[in-house]
């Protein structure tokens, strides 16, 4: 496995974008903080954007950036959105690495690449003098159970390990669940926006199960707004 950094070759941003085009539901790219800050992450912290290659094929990417965290669980950012804002806007001297996204190409899932990426992120943190790696993890199978609260979902087990395969990878690699990150991401749009993003028709004001969403989406026809609040899971890796 060959590991490259965006700081080594700025053209790798095209590879990052291609890898990110695969796994996420369309509506997540409409998150206000993603639209405002995500590209700046690449410009400000290219040395923390890792790409993973086997031969000539890029199989994964890890996006991260340094952040300040005082070590108290209650003082963690609320989730992905707030962590991204803090990374870009605040000037406190960072002491922690925050993993913002880990993506593996679909055809290379299930080959142990996720563990390799996690261990490289921990090494990246350690090499920069950070002892903690925190990640607002998006459990991969939670979208299949959108009406189950995240707190309950995290209690599900399979062979004594977490039921969710992505959470399970973290725990098997030494990660520790700190708490549910909620709200982690918030997406708002008109009813028409949500119909375009999902291909669904919303005939009444209600909560709707939407493909790819970890929680139901609240649609209000009178106010002409749909709101999605996504929970994630803060996981800590010691480095």
Question: Mind listing the pLDDT tens digit for each residue in 186-206?
Answer: 999 999 999 999 999 999 999
pLDDT at 20: 95
CATH architecture of 2-185+233-238: 3-Layer(aba) Sandwich (3.40)
In the chain, domain spans: 2-185+233-238
- Alpha helices by DSSP H, listed for 68-129, are 80-89, 113-127
pLDDT grade for 160, boundaries at 50, 70 and 90:
very high
pLDDT at 213: 98
Count of CA atoms in the C-beta half-sphere (13 A) of 94: 22
Question: Residue 181 — φ and ψ, nearest 5°?
Answer: -95, 105
pLDDT at 114: 94
Give the model confidence (pLDDT) of 129-139 as tens digits. Answer: 999 999 999 99
pLDDT grade for 149, boundaries at 50, 70 and 90:
very high
Residue 231: which of 204, 205, 213 has the closest Cα? 213
- On the question of pLDDT at 22 being above 90, the answer is no
pLDDT at 123: 97
pLDDT at 110: 84
pLDDT grade for 118, boundaries at 50, 70 and 90:
very high
CA distance 164 to 228: 22
Could you tell me the pTM of the whole model? 0.95
Task: Calculate mean pLDDT across residues 76-93.
Answer: 95
Helix (H, G, I), strand (E, B) or coil at 122: helix
């Amino acid at each position: 496995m060959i590991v490259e950094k965006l700081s080594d070759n700025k053209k790798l941003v095209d590879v990052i974008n291609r890898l990110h085009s695969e796994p996420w539901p369309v509506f997540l790219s409409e998150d206000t903080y993603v639209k405002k800050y995500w590209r700046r992450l690449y410009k400000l912290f290219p040395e923390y954007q890792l790409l993973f290659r086997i031969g000539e094929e890029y199989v994964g990417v890890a996006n991260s950036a340094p952040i300040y965290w005082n070590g108290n669980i209650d003082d963690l950012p609320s989730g992905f959105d707030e962590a991204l804002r803090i990374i870009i806007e605040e000037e406190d001297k960072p002491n922690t690495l925050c993993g913002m996204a880990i993506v593996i190409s679909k055809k290379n899932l299930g080959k142990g690449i996720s563990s390799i990426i996690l261990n490289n992120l921990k090494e990246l943190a350690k090499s920069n003098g950070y002892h903690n790696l925190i990640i607002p993890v998006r459990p991969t199978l939670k979208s299949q159970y959108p009406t189950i609260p995240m707190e309950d979902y995290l209690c599900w087990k399979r062979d004594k390990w977490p039921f969710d395969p992505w959470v399970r990878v973290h725990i098997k690699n030494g990660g520790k669940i700190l708490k549910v990150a909620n709200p982690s991401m918030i997406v708002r749009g008109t009813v028409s926006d949500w119909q375009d993003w999902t291909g669904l028709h919303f005939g009444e004001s209600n909560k709707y199960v939407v493909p790819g969403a970890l929680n139901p989406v609240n649609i209000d026809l009178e106010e002409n707004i749909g709101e999605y609040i996504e929970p994630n899971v803060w996981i800590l890796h010691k480095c």
